[in-house]
A = this chain, B = another copy of it.
Amino acid sequence: MASTDVAVLIGSLRKDSINRKFAHVLCELAPASLRPDIVEIGALPLYNPDLEAQMPPPWTEFRERMSRAEAVLFVTPEYNRSLPAALKNAIDVGSRPYGKSVWGGKPAAIVSVSPGAIGGFGANHHLRQSLVFLDMPAMQQPEAYIGGAEKLLDADGKLTNPGTHEFLTKYMHRFAAWIERIAAA
């Protein structure tokens, strides 16, 4: 049976981003039925409808890649109590032009990751509000607000905490089940 193509979008553009590290961890913990693939969003010009007339190549590439994806995993920090601009930009670029959104119908999951205690709650739920409009069935449980994130990884980006390992493993299996459930219909 073919595995599912899961695009993984990372909200932080920082090279040593803790979110990127968690994205790698999540990819490793995914069950065999998922084929997670990090899709880069840092080179996308800011969304501006006027650019559609001569579509910027990074937009074309991103839209083509995302059109093939069968599910989306968002891994994101919170910037100023909301989504980082880079991630919102990827969402806006992918949602257009009108009638050609790359998102519609694709099951999604959200992991917010933060050095602080609150675990990116504000970003997590602002993103969920967009997913309603984009018609992406979002996994509700388990929610994943990863707080104090820097203490959960060692210098090699490996999880140090068995509880977190267990939770994120379960998370990826639940996401696989959610994808299957949505795709079954």
- A interface residue numbers (CB < 8 A to B): 13-15, 42, 44, 46-50, 79-86, 88-89, 91-92, 95, 117-119, 121-122, 125-126, 128-138, 140-141, 143, 145, 147, 177, 180-182, 184-185
Contacts and interface: CB of A to CB of B under 8 A. Distances in A.
A86 B89 CA distance: 7
Contact of A136 (B49, B134, B140, B143): B140
Given A125-B122, A140-B135, A184-B184, A79 B50 contact: no
Contacts of A95: 79-80
A89 B81 CA distance: 13
A15 B126 contact: no
